[in-house]
Amino acid sequence: MAMAVISLFILFFISFSISRGEISGEVGVNYGQLGSNLPPARTSVRLIQSLKAKRVKIYDANAEILEALRNTGIEVSIMLPNELVVNASTNQTFSDQWVGSNVVPFYPQTLIRYLLVGNELISST
């Protein structure tokens, strides 16, 4: 029994050591847009910068926010809204046009690093 526990511990330690290169200590912010009294995008981005956050996730491809993030050095993750997931997954032309309209005009000045598909998609079906 003790040998099994030690073996599991060693396996865990090795796994953690190998994956350590993927762990980042950068602070990130989820940029929500639900509310009635939200500040302008540029004001929000200045706040994010004052927090020294290096990453931000936005829940849709909001052009005003993407423009405000231009040349800031903040890495951006853009989420494809749930209502577009079916079209994007079944229609390559739709996906190409969405990227062409919502990513290409801002990249590379806005550091778009990830496109995320849906938000809590499984729990909302």
% the chain with pLDDT above 90: 46
Of 32, 18, 34, 115, the residue nearest 76 (C-alpha): 115
CA distances from 51 to 44, 70, 74 (A): 11, 17, 12
Residue range 56-91, pLDDT digits in tens = 999 999 999 999 999 999 999 999 888 888 888 898
pTM check: above 0.75: no
Q: What is the pLDDT of residues 84-114, one digit of tens each?
A: 888 888 989 989 999 999 999 999 999 999 9
Q: Are 76 and 58 in contact (CB under 8 A)?
A: yes
Helix orientation angle between 82-90 and 92-102, rounded to the nearest 10 degrees: 130
Rounded Cα gap, residues 112 and 61, in angstroms: 11
